[in-house]
């Protein structure tokens, strides 16, 4: 059994209509102010930031997005005899699962946009329910359990990753025979460091990304082609 670890970033979902953050046309480059909407301290301290964030969530491309060829290629690989596939994703869109990959094979390092989380009592509820309240006129809907501030169940800037999820990701990186980083700038730590851990443990490393990354020098293969065609081609070669 060959363990293949795939670290997926925003570039995997751009073909599904979800813009990335740091690419040439990324959200942060087009609107640097947008970063405040996903910065924990700003979000918690400024009601106006929260109101803007709820409007961005309401109109997010995530809700209409569908899995693309890259997502489906990973599911196809996971179905092959002799292949154990684990996806460690920086994405919060849930498209790996929507493509058919079981939850147990996906580690969401940065959480999920499909769930709302209370910052006070920790209650979780479907994001769709919170967005329906925004549509009905609540600009900053509070938690229905305790009245606390609601946010998406994603890791904002200034927050730490779930240590259990990160610990499992590290285990996978150190145990895999093949490690593929796809659609990620490999600039956000600690997720990016998984690439180096895999290489140090002897895994064959491939990086598929439109722009150079800090880890290109240690990769066995670097691919600059569009992900929608390059990743399926790369995964087909795995035996």
Known catalytic residues are: 110
56's enclosing H/E stretch is: helix 47-58
Question: Both tokens of residue 47?
Answer: 């009601």
Q: How far apart are CA 68 and CA 72, in angstroms?
A: 6
Q: How far apart are CA 18 and CA 163, in angstroms?
A: 27
Q: How far apart are CA 133 and CA 140, in angstroms?
A: 9
Interacting residues of 132 by C-beta distance below 8 A, sequence separation 6+: none
195 phi and psi angles, rounded to 5 deg? -60, -45
Of residues 85, 65, 69, 93, the one with CA closest to residue 7: 85
Question: Both tokens of residue 63?
Answer: 């809700």
């Amino acid at each position: 059994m060959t363990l293949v670890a795939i670290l997926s970033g925003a570039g995997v979902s751009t073909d599904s209509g979800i813009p990335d953050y740091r690419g040439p046309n990324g959200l942060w480059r087009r609107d640097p102010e947008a970063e405040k909407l996903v910065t924990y301290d700003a979000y918690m301290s400024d009601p106006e930031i929260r109101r803007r964030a709820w409007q961005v969530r309401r109109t997010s491309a995530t809700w209409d997005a569908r899995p693309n060829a890259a997502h489906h290629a990973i599911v196809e690989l996971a179905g092959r005899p002799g292949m154990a596939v684990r996806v460690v994703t920086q994405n919060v869109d849930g498209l790996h699962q929507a493509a058919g990959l079981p939850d147990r094979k996906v580690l969401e390092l940065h959480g999920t946009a499909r769930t709302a989380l209370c910052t006070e009592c920790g209650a979780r509820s479907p994001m769709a329910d919170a967005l329906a309240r925004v549509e009905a006129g609540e600009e900053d809907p509070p938690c229905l359990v305790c009245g606390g501030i609601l946010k998406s169940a994603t890791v904002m800037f200034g927050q730490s990753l779930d240590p259990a999820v990160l610990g499992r990701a590290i285990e996978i990186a150190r145990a895999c025979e093949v490690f593929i980083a796809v659609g990620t700038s490999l600039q956000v730590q600690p997720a990016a460091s998984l690439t180096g851990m895999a290489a140090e443990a002897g895994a064959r490393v491939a990086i598929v990304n439109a722009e150079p990354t800090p880890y290109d020098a240690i990769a066995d293969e670097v691919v600059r082609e569009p992900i929608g065609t390059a990743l399926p081609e790369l995964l087909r070669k795995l035996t």
